[in-house]
Structure 1
Amino acid sequence: MQLDQPQHHAAQTTMAHTHHPRLALCHSMTASHDQSRATLRRDRLKRGLIASAMVLLIIPTAYAKEKKLTTPLSSLDIKTTQAATVVIVSPDQSFRVRLNEETLKTSGKSYTTQDPARIASLVKLLEHAHVKSNTEVAHPFEPRTGIFLTLADGSHADFLFEKAFANQTHLNGTLNGKAITVTSTLPHTLDSWTTEQGAAFEPARSTTENTVQK
């Protein structure tokens, strides 16, 4: 029996040494598997973050496009304007009878042009005037400024605007009869535009008279 015990102990030691590499291999495989799963989770997280970032970038762009399509100018390609007439009545001038579109044209100072460069400059002023639909109840106003555009397809874009008052942030107006608002500085920029174009204003009996030819 004394001889058998060392043999039995040796056998156990031999088995332990025999199984140890296998255990190490199993541990190694488990660690590798865990690392792969961690890497997979990180990749999925990265893809999720990238997708979220793309959505955040797309939504404002889509909103901006939608917002642009709903502006009053969206249905009118004013960049194709072939002829433009601007009529301005001095804010200091008073009348016994309230002005309307027709009397504005005959009472105001008129400037008409077909020059592409002058028209492009006028169109740019309108695009920067923040033309918006007036969703509030629009009260009747006396037109003091008019812009009348003839587009390439023969259609018209007729703007009428009220008199600008001090401390006013926007002007009421109409575009082809529909209520709009614009920045209150538009009449001033129109005055500057006519001066830059070299327009010599004279009281006009119609929008076809007292014009500067191209």
Structure 2
Amino acid sequence: MNKKILWISFSLLTLIFVLGIFGLVSYKSAKKVIENFEADFKITSQSEYFKNLASMLGKNNIGMFEKKKDGLTFNVLNIYDKDDSDSLLEALKQKDKEKFIQLKDKLQFLNQGNSIRIEKFYTFEDLGSLAKIGLFFTKTNTLESVRKLALFIKARLDIHQNENGADDVFINTISQSVVETYCVHFKNESVISLGELQTFTLIYAEGNIKGSLTDYIAYIIEKSRKKESE
């Protein structure tokens, strides 16, 4: 009986030790990834392209990821009439397909001259398994909240790609920490349905790099865009 108790105790201690080592390694991996992200963000945010994009996103709260046969683009929607922008957001929020179609045709916001071509949507997939586990348990970091937004957008853009359809994803920054996302499902370029509103909150962790929500959205786009002659 004593041997059995000793064996169980030893097994539990071994398991705790292994889990402790695993947790420590995951935490250190996550910390290193966060440091790399901070360094890369600082470098990326110094470019004129990034600054112009972040400024556009700050002035025009609504943006759209559009997926077509010839690729993925991002557009900052320059809607100068507040009534029109409010009507667009209301149609998306209420999932009013007919109203959305009317507004889409009226606003003609798909200006190809202002479209940013996306080469490969950036979702921080090169983090490594240990770092991802560490980030999952390290909730108070900016990187994980930015990554969740990127993963959601990527998933929605890809969900109908094998069904002759696609989802456009609209983003609306409503504050320095909150962004709304709306999905519109198309098939053969016709609007099929409007999806539920999803809200994401950016975590500003103490000690991390400083940037606004639109800065981090601009970072995702800058890391994703096709680098053509500028």
What TM-score does the superposition give when structure 1 sets the normalisation length?
A: 0.25
Structure with higher Rg: it is: 1
Instruction: Point out the structure with the larger helix share.
Output: 2
What TM-score does the superposition give when structure 2 sets the normalisation length?
A: 0.24
